[in-house]
């Protein structure tokens, strides 16, 4: 789903679970959102995701790589404590931009600061 936030096209993907059963479909949707014409950033809203397995992590890493290659901003938003712990244990919290929520991602998107 693509949403217009902060007067710039930001793709926001929300989901309720991200695991081996859902990772393939999510990765296809994520890839489409990242490569959509005019999109400047992609926010993955993880507010409803309480658990993340290796397949889910790989889908997120794949999305991050694609976003970087297209010079798009990519962020994980509304990360719950359990998922944050998984990101910290895998040291991926150092790789991903993590925003408090989608609104803060959109607000920062107008900043001059570039992330990659």
For 35-76, how does the pLDDT look when each residue is reduced to its tens digit (9 = 90+)? 999 899 999 999 999 999 999 999 999 999 999 999 999 999
Task: Output the pTM of the full model.
Answer: 0.84
Q: Are 104 and 70 in contact (CB under 8 A)?
A: no
Q: 6 versus 66: which is more confidently predicted?
A: 66
Instruction: Give the CATH number of domain 2-109; options: 3.30.750.24, 3.40.50.10470, 2.40.30.70, 3.40.50.620.
Output: 3.30.750.24
- Say if CB 5 and CB 38 are below 8 A apart: no
Going from N- to C-terminal start, the domains of the chain cover 2-109
């Amino acid at each position: 789903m693509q949403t217009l936030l902060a007067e710039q096209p930001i793709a926001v993907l929300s989901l309720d679970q991200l695991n081996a059963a859902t990772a393939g479909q999510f990765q296809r949707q994520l890839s489409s959102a990242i490569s959509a014409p005019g999109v400047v950033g992609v926010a993955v809203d993880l507010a409803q995701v309480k658990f993340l397995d290796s397949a889910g992590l790989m889908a997120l890493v794949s999305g991050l790589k694609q976003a970087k290659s297209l010079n798009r901003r990519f962020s994980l938003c509304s990360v719950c404590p359990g998922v944050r712990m998984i990101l910290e244990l895998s040291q991926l919290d150092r790789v991903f931009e993590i925003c408090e929520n989608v609104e803060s991602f959109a607000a920062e998107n107008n900043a001059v600061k570039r992330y990659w």
